[in-house]
Structure 1
Amino acid sequence: MELVVASAVGILTAGGIYLMLRLRTFPVILGMSLLTYAVNVFLFSSGRLTVGAPPILRDDAATYTDPLPQALVLTAIVISFGMTAVVVMIALGSYLGSDDDHVDDQSEPDDDNNAEGGA
């Protein structure tokens, strides 16, 4: 089970970094989301991967699941959803303002004007 979770975290991280290196806003937003999911799965797995164990230590329980990572992941999901909505609105406003969705903000010169700025 640990190999599957570690592979999932690695694949999500690799995909997120690849998409964040793109020069368009939509892949960057998807890459940030994938990195958020990778961190959430990593935090969730830090609370032990046990099946059927109680989340609270009792007298008769030999193993238990730590509830703190579950609470952290739940909070991180809510925060990442809100931040993704904010980033999408900023990207949409930038796209509508410049008719281009490049992240680096370097536009090519128009055909009417040359590189020196003369007409």
Structure 2
Amino acid sequence: MEILMAIVIGVLFMSATYLMLSKSLLRIIIGTGILSHGAHLLLLTMGGLKKGAAPLLGEQASSYTDPLPQALILTAIVISFGVTSFFLVLAYRSYQELGTDNMDRLRGNEKK
């Protein structure tokens, strides 16, 4: 299962890098979202894909699941949601003011 997750994470990182290198601001935002999903899966996979009981069983439990990777991923999901929503509002406002989402035009390197 870990091999399959490593392949999926690699594909997510590859597609996120491709999207973040494009000229469109919306593609860059989608790329950062995909990159954060890849990081969440990486945290989950590195924490170990174990089958076990609930994390709160007491000290005499024979098998349990470590809750720390799940807590880290939940925190990362909330942070990435906030960052993505901020990027979307920023892109919408820049499109309203400048009329384009092309990164070269936003930098002033390309003429209309």
The structure with more radius of gyration: 1
TM-score (norm 1): 0.82
Match of residue 11 from structure 1: 11
Match of residue 87 from structure 1: 87
Counterpart mapping for 1:71-110 below 5 A = 71-104=71-104, 105=106, 106=108, 108-109=110-111
Which consecutive aligned stretches of 4+ in structure 1 deviate over 6 angstroms post-superposition?
none
Tell me, in whole angstroms, the C-alpha distance in 1 between the residues paired with 2:29 and 2:78. Answer: 16
Counterpart mapping for 1:12-31 below 5 A = 12-31=12-31
Unaligned runs of 5+ in 1: 111-119
Count of residues paired in the alignment? 109
**TM-aligned CA distance change 1:109 to 1:5, over 3 Å:** closer
Counterpart mapping for 1:36-115 below 5 A = 36-56=36-56, 58-61=59-62, 63-104=63-104, 105=106, 106=108, 108-109=110-111
TM-score (norm 2): 0.87
Unaligned runs of 5+ in 2: none
Task: Work out which structure has the larger RCO, using CA pairs closer than 8 Å and 6 or more positions apart in sequence.
Answer: 2
RMSD over aligned CA atoms reads 1.7
Tell me, in whole angstroms, the C-alpha distance in 2 between the residues paired with 1:85 and 1:99. Answer: 20
**TM-aligned CA distance change 1:89 to 1:60, over 3 Å:** closer
